[in-house]
Amino acid sequence: MVQINGEQFDNVSVVGRTLLDYATEAGYDPVGIVIEKNMEIIHREDFDKVNIDDGDVIEILHFVGGGQR
């Protein structure tokens, strides 16, 4: 099993895919996110080089701008 943002996924659906493939398919803009794999921040330029492995815990953080009007 793989855990992504607290949700469990079966290995068939995510193992072996790159972080970039998963993130873009899930609707994230790779420019505005940070990905943590097993408590290690992955550099944006490596999203397409790092695969999801069985047992991984992944957090995808995206930033939203805003403020007072």
Q: What is the pLDDT of residue 64?
A: 74
Could you tell me if 19 and 58 are in contact, meaning their C-beta atoms sit under 8 angstroms apart? yes
Task: Calculate the CA dihedral of residues 68, 26, 34, 7 and round it to 10 degrees.
Answer: 100
Q: What is the pLDDT of residue 35?
A: 98
Domain residue spans in the chain? 2-62
Q: What is the pLDDT of residue 52?
A: 98
Question: Residue 67 carries which side chain, given as an amino acid letter?
Answer: G
Q: How far apart are CA 35 and CA 39, in angstroms?
A: 9
Could you tell me if 17 and 24 are in contact, meaning their C-beta atoms sit under 8 angstroms apart? no
In the CATH hierarchy, which top-level class contains the domain 2-62?
Answer: alpha beta
User: Average pLDDT for consecutive 10-residue bins of the chain (69 residues)?
Assistant: 95 94 95 96 98 98 75
Q: What is the pLDDT of residue 67?
A: 64
Could you tell me if 18 and 42 are in contact, meaning their C-beta atoms sit under 8 angstroms apart? no
